């Protein structure tokens, strides 16, 4: 078996669930966040929890490999890479004799539920173990190793899986645990290499992991703006060598000082022959005489600190896995907990394994288009975006359409990636792309200039806003804006920004009644660290800010490791939206996160203080409190979650009440949350959103072309492009007004609020967990057809 790691949950006889006295076991490969969440939620539900060290090998060997876990034993795990309970490949588990030993160890502990965190090999092994469970019991009975009573008590085995694989090669889930962290490691190297490549005008070839799946290579190519990517799912066409050389030459011709080629380790040509870094290097060096370097990243991709996304994903999957096992019956098929959009879903394990194997079969038979589709919508969308940006040439005939792009509101990482993508897709559609500097002020003042392909070169990895951005709204300068739209003959508008972009779009739509020049299609792409734009569950820039906060919290917690008995109060940005505070709390393991959406008073503060006092009596001697703040228009920090309970007040309260038990420190993170290079998620998200926006505008312009001119005044001609649950949607600005709290600048419904109970449970607060909206079992075929 491929390496699987295990830990076990056995319910106390006093557990009051309808599944009382039923044993539960977990084994897993990869992420400590998933281990931590499952242990703590298991204990929360009344379970006795065991670690099974060294995966299936530990399950076979038993003894000290199966040890009871406590709440404190999973403390300080979130920031650790790898797995603290070990992982090992196990030949013994491949044999029935070995599986019988594993079954005996489980039966003796009264365990009838197993959760496996691993790849398709580990999950397939778990399902086989489940299918032959009754047979294994009979073998053990005949050998006298278990009693009839023990066999009766352990008559069935339930399975739930969580997918841990940096390759993201398991069908049925958008993202596997570990993939985002691997992308972070890769992009750190790519950014470093890009610097030297630009200095020396070099071509760089980078090999990333992915023997059978090109996800890492594909997303890396999108995130760094690579000139070419080689993936196993879609080998290049015949004659790719000449095509590659033409593309590299063209990039140098238009002024690019470097070329980047990404290669998945399993890349093949149409005849099944490997395409390696050395083959490409020799080709480029011999035919183009470019100074070329090759780098194989290797196992560096597997290490390092987990990203915020992976920590939250692991935590959510761990909670969902426990819920799935609680609800399982002997007839429930083994399931895998997956991610679809921002939703946790349950899918039949073997259906996912079957589809994963179908991908391999399709590639072997040369059905490459089908292989891409079988990977799922997320993979297919990435591939289609890459093809548009890297393999399509600009048409000779122009469309005579002018599309203007602007940034509005506070700057954030990923804005430049969205602009670059929008500009290049627009050029490929034959449009003229215009840069509007400094937001609506620039549109009013005529600070507008054309953008070429090379104008946005290298923008993907740059933070902030290269176009410049301001918070000004258009209402006070609407006449000047309308005049410049006419002067520059602007036919469509892309507005990239936060809540001000949303408000500005609404003001432009309202002004259409008076100014005909404003009757043009427009699209708003949410981009803000606050993640508070109506119409989208995610905003460009929020992931980068979240990782900045999480990394800082890790360092702050580490500083308390020596002194111990210390509580930190940390301010985060976010306006009235508690997204950053809540998600950073989940990712960093905070004890509390105070936000505007969840009002709190003196009783809540008293509960939090008492909680920390009790915590200090355990082996965990540190606490972390996150506090939501915002940046107001006069550039001073203004607390929004509660006007009276300020950070200084909280600091004084915790300092006073903790005297003799713990001391207190406070940290204001400030503008560092808005800076930095974009994360792989924000680069990829921004790239895809920019492309989708311009393609939508292209279609909308055709609809609005009447009598030789553009005239758009319908609600669906001014939209927000956002991700909602499982899909990206264009929603009319006017339709979103009902779901907007304009006073507090937040949507009225926010999906992440349902995750707050998980934050509190993982911090050991005694609260009720609402399970009314737990995921139901779906089917992979249906899911692939509807997402």
In tens, the pLDDT along 131-162 reads 999 999 999 999 999 999 999 999 989 889 99
Using a pLDDT cut of 70, give the percent of the chain over it.
91
Annotated binding site for substrate: 165-167, 202, 209-211, 265, 293, 299-302
| pLDDT of amino acid 551 | 92
Which residues is 572 bridged to in the sheet?
Answer: 628
For 50-85, the pLDDT digits (tens) are 888 888 999 999 999 988 888 888 988 888 888 888
Under 8 Å between Cβ of 459 and 424: no
Q: Are strands 718-724 and 522-526 parallel, antiparallel or unpaired?
A: parallel
Query: Binning pLDDT at 50, 70 and 90, where does residue 781 land?
Result: low
For 691-733, the pLDDT digits (tens) are 999 999 999 999 998 878 899 999 999 999 999 987 899 999 9
Annotated binding site for Mg(2+): 120
Region of poorest pLDDT, from 7-16, 120-129, 257-266: 7-16
Annotated binding site: 28, 89-90, 119-122, 165-167, 202, 209-211, 265, 293, 299-302, 471, 528-532, 566, 573-575, 665, 671-674, 745
Q: Are strands 718-724 and 727-732 parallel, antiparallel or unpaired?
A: antiparallel
In angstroms, the CA 545 to CA 550 distance is: 9
In angstroms, the CA 253 to CA 255 distance is: 5
Written in H, E and C, the secondary structure of 220-239 is HHHHHCCCEEEECCECCCCC
In angstroms, the CA 746 to CA 689 distance is: 21
Contacts of 284 (CB under 8 A, 6+ apart): 203, 205, 244, 245, 248, 259, 261, 290, 292
| pLDDT of amino acid 23 | 43
Q: Which residues are catalytic?
A: 167
Whole-prediction pTM: 0.91
Q: Is pLDDT of 20 > 50?
A: no
| Residue 143 buriedness (CB in 10 A; 0-12 / 13-18 / 19+) | exposed
Annotated binding site for ATP: 28, 89-90, 119-122
Under 8 Å between Cβ of 379 and 218: yes
Mean pLDDT of 97-115: 91
For 301-355, the pLDDT digits (tens) are 888 899 999 999 999 999 999 989 888 888 888 899 988 888 888 999 989 989 9
Annotated binding site for beta-D-fructose 2,6-bisphosphate: 471, 528-532, 566, 573-575, 665, 671-674, 745
């Amino acid at each position: 078996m491929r390496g699987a790691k295990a830990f076990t949950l056995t319910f106390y006889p006093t557990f009051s669930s309808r599944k009382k006295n039923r044993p539960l076991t977990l084994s897993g490969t990869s992420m400590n966040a998933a281990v931590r969440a499952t242990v703590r939620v298991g204990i929360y539900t009344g379970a006795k929890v065991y670690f099974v060290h060294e995966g299936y090998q530990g399950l076979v060997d038993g003894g000290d490999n199966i040890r009871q876990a406590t709440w404190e034993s999973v403390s300080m795990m979130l920031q650790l890479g790898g797995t603290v309970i070990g992982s090992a490949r196990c030949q013994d588990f491949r044999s029935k004799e070995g599986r019988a030993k594993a079954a005996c160890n489980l039966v003796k502990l009264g365990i009838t539920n197993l959760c496996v965190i691993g790849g398709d090999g580990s999950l397939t092994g778990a399902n086989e173990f489940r299918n032959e469970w009754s047979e294994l019991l009979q073998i053990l009975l005949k050998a006298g190793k278990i009693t009839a009573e023990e066999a009766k008590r352990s008559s069935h085995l339930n399975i739930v899986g969580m997918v841990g694989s940096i390759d993201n090669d398991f069908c049925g889930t958008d993202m596997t645990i570990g993939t985002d962290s691997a992308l972070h490691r890769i992009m750190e190297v790519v950014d470093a290499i890009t610097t030297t490549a630009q200095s020396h005008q070099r071509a760089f070839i980078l090999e990333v992991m992915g023997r059978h799946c090109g996800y890492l290579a594909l997303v890396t190519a999108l995130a760094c703006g690579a000139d070419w990517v080689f993936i196993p799912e879609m080998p290049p066409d015949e004659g790719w060598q000449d095509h590659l050389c033409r593309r590299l030459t063209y990039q140098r011709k238009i002024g690019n000082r470097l070329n980047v080629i990404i290669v998945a380790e399993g890349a093949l040509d149409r005849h099944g022959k490997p395409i390696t870094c050395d083959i490409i290097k020799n080709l480029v060096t011999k035919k183009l005489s470019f100074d070329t370097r090759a780098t194989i990243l290797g196992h560096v991709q597997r290490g390092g600190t987990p990203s915020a996304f992976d920590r939250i994903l692991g935590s959510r999957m761990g909670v969902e896995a426990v819920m799935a096992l609680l609800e399982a019956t002997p007839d429930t098929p083994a399931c895998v907990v997956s991610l679809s959009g921002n939703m946790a879903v349950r899918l039949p394990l073997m259906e996912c394994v079957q589809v994963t194997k179908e991908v391999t079969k399709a590639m072997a038979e040369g059905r490459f288009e089908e292989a891409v589709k079988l990977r799922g919508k997320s993979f297919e969308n990435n591939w289609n975006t890459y093809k548009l940006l890297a393999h399509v040439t600009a048409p000779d005939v122009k469309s005579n359409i002018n599309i203007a792009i602007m940034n509005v509101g506070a700057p954030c990482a990923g804005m430049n990636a969205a602009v670059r993508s929008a500009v290049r897709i627009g050029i490929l559609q034959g449009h003229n792309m215009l840069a509007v500097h400094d937001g609506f002020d620039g549109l009013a003042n005529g600070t507008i200039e054309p953008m070429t392909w090379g104008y946005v070169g290298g923008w993907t990895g740059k933070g902030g806003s290269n176009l410049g951005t301001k918070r000004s709204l258009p209402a006070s300068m609407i006449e000047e804006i309308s005049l410049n739209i006419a002067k520059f003959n602007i036919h469509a508008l892309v507005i990239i920004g936060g809540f001000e972009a949303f408000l500005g779009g609404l003001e432009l739509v309202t002004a259409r009644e008076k100014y005909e020049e404003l009757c043009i299609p427009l699209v708003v792409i949410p981009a803000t660290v606050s993640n508070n734009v109506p119409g989208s569950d995610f905003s460009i820039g929020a992931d980068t800010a979240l990782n900045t906060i999480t990394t800082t919290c890790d360092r702050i917690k580490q500083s308390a490791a020596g002194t111990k008995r210390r509580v930190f109060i940390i301010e985060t940005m976010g306006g009235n939206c508690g997204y950053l505070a809540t998600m950073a709390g989940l990712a960093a393991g905070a004890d509390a996160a105070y936000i505007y959406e969840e009002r709190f008073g003196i009783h809540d503060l008293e509960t939090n203080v008492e909680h920390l006092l009790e915590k200090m009596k355990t082996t965990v001697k540190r606490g972390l409190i996150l506090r939501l703040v915002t940046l107001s228009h006069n550039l001073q920090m203004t607390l929004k979650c509660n006007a009276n309970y300020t950070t200084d007040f909280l600091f004084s309260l915790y300092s006073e009440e903790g005297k003799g038990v713990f001391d207190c420190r406070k940290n204001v993170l400030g503008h560092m949350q808005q800076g930095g290079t974009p994360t792989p998620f924000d680069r990829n998200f921004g790239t895809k959103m920019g492309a989708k926006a311009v393609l939508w505008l292209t279609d909308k312009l055709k609809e609005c072309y009447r009598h030789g001119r553009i005239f758009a005044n319908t609600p669906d001609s001014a939209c927000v492009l956002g991700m909602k649950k499982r899909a990206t949607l264009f929603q009319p600005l006017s339709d979103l007004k009902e779901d907007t709290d304009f006073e507090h600048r937040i949507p009225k419904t926010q999906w992440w609020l349902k995750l707050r109970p998980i934050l509190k449970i993982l911090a050991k607060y005694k609260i009720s967990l609402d399970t009314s909206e737990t995921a139901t079992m779906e089917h992979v075929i249906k899911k692939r057809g509807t997402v």
